[in-house]
Structure 1
Amino acid sequence: MNTVTNRLNLKDSVTDYAFILVGILSINFALKGLLVPNHFFDGGVTGLSLLLHEKYHFNIAYTIVALNLPLVLVGYKLVGQKFFIKTSISIVLLGMCLLWLPIQEITHDKLIISVFGGFFIGLGVGLGMRGGCALDGIEVLAVYTGKRIGFTMSEIILGLNIIIFTVSALFFGLETAFYSMLTYFVASRTIAYVVDGIQEFTGVTIISAKSEEVKAYLVLQMNKGITVYKGERGFMKESFEVSADCDIIYTVVTRLEVRRLKAAMHEIDEKAFIFTQSIRETAGGVLKKKEH
């Protein structure tokens, strides 16, 4: 048993560091090949590092390491030792890549720089998060300060980025600030896709008087696993004391299957009560049985 556990832990560690390494190379490519040569910015600690690099000509590698490492120390208390070790190693490796790994400037096209610079930054940060580290420490800063000043993490990140883009507009012009905002938007969406997955799942809850037909359709026609809760329905204002037992059916589908499911439920029972909720990630269970 211990041997199996050790093998699984080793596999997870190798996978984590593979994600982190590819993430570092992606950020290095985005910075040296696209953003830095063309004086573009991003949000977060990376954006602040780029701003200091452009304004005061600090070396971008040293700046990113210097700004991120204090946040890593904060993360040690918030997230734990494993996070601290992974992130420290990753930040230092990123700095070394920025110092010694040569990347040629790719293009001067501002739209390409914004879109693909943001994409590769987001890909790198997202892969780092999948590997269990923070290649941009703004989330750690937001969690740390949020506990002390009462703002949410999203509000703090938004506030810091507004400051970065406002300063970039004042010193480098509105056009640069607008393109930098586009870079940040693309990066943030890419991070979301990398961390949460491109194929989003939707949880569907169905309450119907024809629950047996609903269950049969989900399992036999859509090849879905289902969970059935026992509940009561009724309790109308006009007849509050009147209720009846019912099955509350829960299943998980991909977002591409939601429309098909709703159409089928309307045919089975047009009075069925259906509600959905987004699910970021699933593991185990029966999402879709293989068809033979």
Structure 2
Amino acid sequence: MNNTPIKTHIIDAGYTLAGILFCGFALKSFLVPNSFFDGGVTGISLLIHELYHVNIAYVIIIANIPFILMGAFQVNKTFALRTLAAIIGLALCLHFLPATQITSDKLLVSIFGGVFMGIGIGLAIRGGCALDGIEVLALYTGKRISFTISEIILGINIVIFLIAAIKLGLPTALYSILTYYTASRMINFVIEGLEEYTGVTIISGQSEVIKERLVMKLGRGITVYKGERGFLPESFDVSHPVDIVFTVVTRLELRRLRNMIHEIDPKAFVFTSVVKEAAGGVLKRRARH
């Protein structure tokens, strides 16, 4: 009997539970006691809570319901059910978790509130759900207008922070923007991790040696393009056939790869590009999210 699905569900549940606890801690110990905000649906919930003094636990559930329903159509029903369970779990955490204000220093609140919030949301995404429905809205809207998802999210957050600036003052809004930025960077780090992939293209006259080292020594898969090198200003008519080597490595392996190439051919032309998604081939197995 294959136990992989059961193991996967347990791991996903662990990620989600950890995400809920981190988000609950960020909200109860940093953001809520200091009247700070975040972006997205969480930011809207915090703004409503601050302006109308409605229990944040109830507001977060009600504010996310439209986006959960949207997620059922835009992603799938499993995602929507997981997100609903995670949002309810976060609401329970906010309702029962004792409020302990860690600090009132605005800079510390904005940075570490964002750090813990970003860790929580990132872990929930790794668990296959969302603790903030703003990206579902952006995905839904992006199919109907010509803006990208990032532009839509940015536009919504600008409106949130403008309202916060008008109602609660510019300093609070500015510190909240710092919170949002910190959280977004942490989300990217948690999702991508230290194994964020980088594409490397190598053009060298020593391509045969480089190919052998990449495969046999580093254990990387490679793709080879047939091309020509040369075409310099002083000898434009002179060119040579060359194998253009492309491979994908993690950030931790990039320095080792560059050193190896420099050792073989100091004049090799090497350029890198960020790989947002990578699967299959000869890649290290990474956490599913």
Q: Is the 8 A contact 1:202 1:279 kept in 2?
A: yes
Letter in 1 for 2:268: A
Aligned to 2:224: 229
Give the whole-Å Cα distance in 1 for the aligned partners of 2:225 and 2:176.
Answer: 53
- CA gap 1:155/1:250 in 2 versus in 1, 3 angstroms: same
2:180 pairs with one of 175, 184, 193:
184
Are 1:202 and 2:198 an aligned pair? yes
2:29 pairs with one of 33, 36, 49:
33
Q: Is the 8 A contact 1:225 1:285 kept in 2?
A: no
Are 1:8 and 2:4 an aligned pair? yes
Greater shift after overlay, 276-285 or 224-233? Answer: 276-285
Q: CA RMSD in A?
A: 2.4
Letter in 2 for 1:37: P
Q: Is the 8 A contact 2:18 2:120 kept in 1?
A: yes
Letter in 2 for 1:125: I
SS of the aligned residue for 1:132 comes to coil
Tell me how far 1:215 sits from its aligned partner. 2.4
Tell me how far 1:268 sits from its aligned partner. 3.1
- CA gap 1:215/1:142 in 2 versus in 1, 3 angstroms: same
Are 1:136 and 2:132 an aligned pair? yes
Deviations 1:251-284 (A, max 9, x none): 3333344345335434533553433222346567
Tell me how far 1:234 sits from its aligned partner. 5.6
Give the whole-Å Cα distance in 2 for the aligned partners of 1:230 and 1:176.
Answer: 53
Give the whole-Å Cα distance in 1 for the aligned partners of 2:223 and 2:168.
Answer: 59
Are 1:82 and 2:78 an aligned pair? yes
Tell me how far 1:230 sits from its aligned partner. 5.2
Letter in 1 for 2:8: D
- CA gap 1:257/1:198 in 2 versus in 1, 3 angstroms: closer
Percent of aligned pairs sharing the same letter: 53
1:48 pairs with one of 34, 37, 44:
44
Give the whole-Å Cα distance in 2 for the aligned partners of 1:36 and 1:228.
Answer: 51
Aligned to 2:121: 125
Instruction: Please give the residue correspondences for 1:218-257 in structure 2 after superposition, counting only pairs within 5 Å.
Output: 218-219=214-215, 223-229=218-224, 231-233=226-228, 244=241, 246-257=242-253
Give the whole-Å Cα distance in 1 for the aligned partners of 2:135 and 2:223.
Answer: 38
Q: Is the 8 A contact 1:230 1:248 kept in 2?
A: yes
Give the whole-Å Cα distance in 2 for the aligned partners of 1:223 and 1:262.
Answer: 12
Q: Is the 8 A contact 1:46 1:136 kept in 2?
A: yes
SS of the aligned residue for 1:148 comes to coil
Aligned to 2:17: 21
Give the whole-Å Cα distance in 2 for the aligned partners of 1:130 and 1:263.
Answer: 33
Tell me how far 1:106 sits from its aligned partner. 1.7
Are 1:61 and 2:85 an aligned pair? no
- CA gap 1:134/1:214 in 2 versus in 1, 3 angstroms: same
Aligned to 2:150: 154
Give the whole-Å Cα distance in 1 for the aligned partners of 2:97 and 2:193.
Answer: 30
Tell me how far 1:125 sits from its aligned partner. 0.7
Letter in 1 for 2:161: F
- CA gap 1:105/1:235 in 2 versus in 1, 3 angstroms: closer
Letter in 1 for 2:68: V
Q: Which runs of 5+ in 2 are unaligned?
A: 285-289
Tell me how far 1:219 sits from its aligned partner. 4.4
Aligned to 1:70: 66
SS of the aligned residue for 1:149 comes to coil
Tell me how far 1:223 sits from its aligned partner. 2.5
Are 1:109 and 2:112 an aligned pair? no
Give the whole-Å Cα distance in 2 for the aligned partners of 1:50 and 1:230.
Answer: 53
Letter in 2 for 1:103: A
